[in-house]
Amino acid sequence: MNKVSSKQQKIISIMLSGKEMSSSEVYRNLLQIKETISLVTVKRSLSELTKSKRIESFGLGRSVKYRISELGRIFSHIDVKNYVSIEPDKRFGLRNYNFKLLKNLPVDIFEEDEKKGLEASTENYNKRIKNLPLAIQKKELERLVIELSWKSSKIEGNTYTLLDTERLILDNKEATGRSREETQMILNHKEAFDYVRQYSSQFQTMTRKNLEELHSVLVKNLNVGRGLRTRPVGITGSVYRPLDNVYQITEAVDELIKQIKKNRNPYAKALIALLGISYIQPFEDGNKRTARLMANALLISNSLSPLSYRSVDEEEYRSSMLVFYELNSLIQIKKIFIEQYEFAAENYTAKM
């Protein structure tokens, strides 16, 4: 994708509200945010953004108006902290599922320099795990599983500490003062990771079968219904409401599977799964956990390093995902994905 200038990015930000605007209206909005620019430059920028398919134009002559495209949303740069600081009902994000979003996800979801960085991390990872003694591999695998189970659960509000998680997984000792559900969530993460490793050949791409089976492991003994949900769900702190019709949910999952399957880049497959499952929310509960483990399953099946998310800030992760729900921008969550992949490739030597 061609990069946009800072002025063009400000135009995209103005248009994220979804309103249709003339060039003069865009110009006036820019002046309101004290952007020094001429109407001629605005018109030229709108023309360039239209050519790059980040905005769409319609009408003729002086009646031409512009609106943001799905591609414009996907690659828009958002001040995440500022956006989520606004009360949910006062935010200008999308309130309903965007049926055009998954269909318009580009194959080149990573920039060339990002792809080179991921490949360099993988090359480094492969060098580090080569000829490692089995005893070290076993210890490293245990560490990865413990840290993934802890952090992925913590993102969901689980209060187990890293030390608590280690004792539970290695010694089967439950932490005092923690609920049964919290304990079970940790154990389910370990079982799900083991399941992915055991059946890694079945995760070359995502299917309805492996998605539902992975979810079943993650919600085992947590009183969560299996299979695609038939009831509506809400997302705390967000105006976005996922689909509530099982037929539309089924179609959305099928579209996500199609998008993952057509992409040959394994890093892109993993990121699209992470975003898509979280966005569709196909299950009653456990959607984001399933998304993180499915992303790892796709990485492992392609002999890549899985993510532990150990160094991620939970609030930053949740906020970045919320921006994807409401504005469909994947820039920040992609940044987190890349950072966590680089971290994992550098810090673990567990051979999958």
Q: Which residues are CB-neighbours of 241 under 8 A, at least 6 positions away?
A: 95, 96, 97, 232, 234, 235
Q: Say if residue 127 is exposed, middle or buried (CB neighbours under 10 Å; 0-12, 13-18, 19+).
A: exposed
Q: What is the mean pLDDT of residues 203-212?
A: 97
The string of DSSP codes covering 122-167 is HHHHHHHHTT--HHHHHHHHHHHHHHHHHHHHHHTT----HHHHHH
| Dihedrals phi, psi of 56, to nearest 5 degrees | -120, 145
| Mean pLDDT over the full length of the chain | 95
**Residue 213: helix, strand or coil by DSSP?**
helix
Sign of the torsion formed by the C-alpha atoms of 80, 85, 88 and 93: negative
**pTM given for the model:** 0.94
- Name which of 147, 203, 188 is nearest 289 in CA terms: 188
Residue linked to tokens 């790892």: 296
Per-residue pLDDT of 56-73, as tens digits, reads 999 887 789 999 999 999
Kindly list the distances between the CA atom of residue 119 and the CA atoms of 12, 213, 260, 289, in Å, as whole numbers in the listed order.
Answer: 31, 30, 19, 26
Asked if residues 76 and 329 have their Cβ atoms less than 8 Å apart, the reply is yes
**Residue 55: helix, strand or coil by DSSP?**
strand
Strand partners, 68: 55
CATH of domain 102-347: 1.10.3290.10
Asked if residues 296 and 189 have their Cβ atoms less than 8 Å apart, the reply is no
pLDDT at residue 17, as a whole number = 85
SS3 sequence of 165-178: HHHHHHHCCCCCCC
Res. 164: pLDDT tops 80: yes
pLDDT at residue 11, as a whole number = 94
**What is the residue extent of each domain of the chain?**
6-77, 102-347
CA 176 centroid distance within chain: 33
Q: What is the CA radius of gyration of the chain?
A: 22
Residue 332 is which amino acid? Q
Tokens describing residue 157: 């509000």
Q: Which residues are CB-neighbours of 50 under 8 A, at least 6 positions away?
A: 56, 57, 66
Res. 36: pLDDT tops 90: no
Asked if residues 86 and 340 have their Cβ atoms less than 8 Å apart, the reply is no
Architecture of the domain spanning 6-77: Orthogonal Bundle (1.10)
Q: Say if residue 143 is exposed, middle or buried (CB neighbours under 10 Å; 0-12, 13-18, 19+).
A: middle
Q: What is the mean pLDDT of residues 323-350?
A: 95
Residue 182 is which amino acid? E
pLDDT at residue 2, as a whole number = 67
pLDDT at residue 1, as a whole number = 62
Res. 350: pLDDT tops 80: no
Q: Sorting pLDDT into bands at 50, 70 and 90, what band is 6? A: confident
Q: CB atoms < 10 A from the CB of 213, how many?
A: 16
Domains 6-77 and 102-347 share a fold: no
Q: Sorting pLDDT into bands at 50, 70 and 90, what band is 131? A: confident
Q: What is the mean pLDDT of residues 123-149?
A: 92
Which one is predicted more confidently, 198 or 349?
Answer: 198
Q: Which residues are CB-neighbours of 29 under 8 A, at least 6 positions away?
A: 14, 21
Residue 292 to residue 187: CA distance in whole angstroms: 16
Q: What is the mean pLDDT of residues 183-204?
A: 97
Per-residue pLDDT of 170-183, as tens digits, reads 999 999 999 999 99
